[in-house]
C-alpha cells in the first residue's frame, strides 16, 4: 500500500483576499473551484503549475470570527528558485513574519495568519 500527498487545507475568512495573497506572493493559480448552489461554502484549489500538490482554501458562509490557529506550529513550506529575489519581494510586500538568517529561511503570513516557510531550492541528488 502506498500513499501520496494530495493537498493541504486552510480555512479562510475572505476568499478573494486569500487567493490574491497566494497569487501575488507565491505565484499559485486557481486550478479548481467547488461552489454549490446553496452557497454555504466555497472550496478553491491552488497549484504551483509544477507539482500535483494543491492548497485548498475553504470559505464557510456562517464563519465570522478569526480562526484559532493555536500556537501556529504547523505550516506549509515552498522552495524558491531565487531565494534572494523572493525575499526582496516578500519584504516589499510586508508579509515576512519571522526570519532565521542563521539557517537561511523565513516565513510569510497570509491574511488569516497561516505561516508559509520559504526555503532556497536545494540541489537534488
Would you please indicate which residues are annotated as catalytic (active-site) residues?
117
76-80 and 115-120: which strand pairing?
Answer: parallel
Q: Tell me the three cell numbers of residue 11.
A: 480555512
Strand segments (E) across the chain: 7-12, 29-34, 41-47, 54-60, 76-80, 96-100, 105-109, 115-120
Query: Using CA atoms, how far apart are residues 97 and 90, in angstroms rounded to an integer?
Result: 10
Crossing angle of helices 15-26 and 83-93, rounded to 10°:
140
Amino acid at each position: 500500500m502506498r500513499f501520496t500527498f494530495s493537498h493541504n487545507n486552510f480555512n479562510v475568512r475572505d476568499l478573494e483576499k486569500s487567493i490574491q495573497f497566494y497569487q501575488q506572493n507565491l505565484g499559485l493559480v486557481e486550478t479548481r473551484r467547488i461552489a454549490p448552489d446553496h452557497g454555504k461554502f466555497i472550496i478553491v484549489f491552488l497549484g504551483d503549475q509544477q507539482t500535483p500538490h494543491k492548497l485548498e482554501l475553504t470559505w464557510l458562509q456562517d464563519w465570522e470570527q478569526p480562526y484559532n490557529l493555536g500556537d501556529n506550529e504547523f505550516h506549509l513550506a515552498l522552495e524558491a528558485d531565487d531565494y534572494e529575489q523572493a525575499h526582496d519581494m516578500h519584504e516589499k510586500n510586508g508579509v515576512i513574519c519571522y526570519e532565521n538568517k542563521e539557517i537561511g529561511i523565513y516565513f510569510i503570513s497570509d491574511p488569516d495568519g497561516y505561516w508559509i516557510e520559504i526555503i532556497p531550492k536545494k540541489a537534488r541528488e
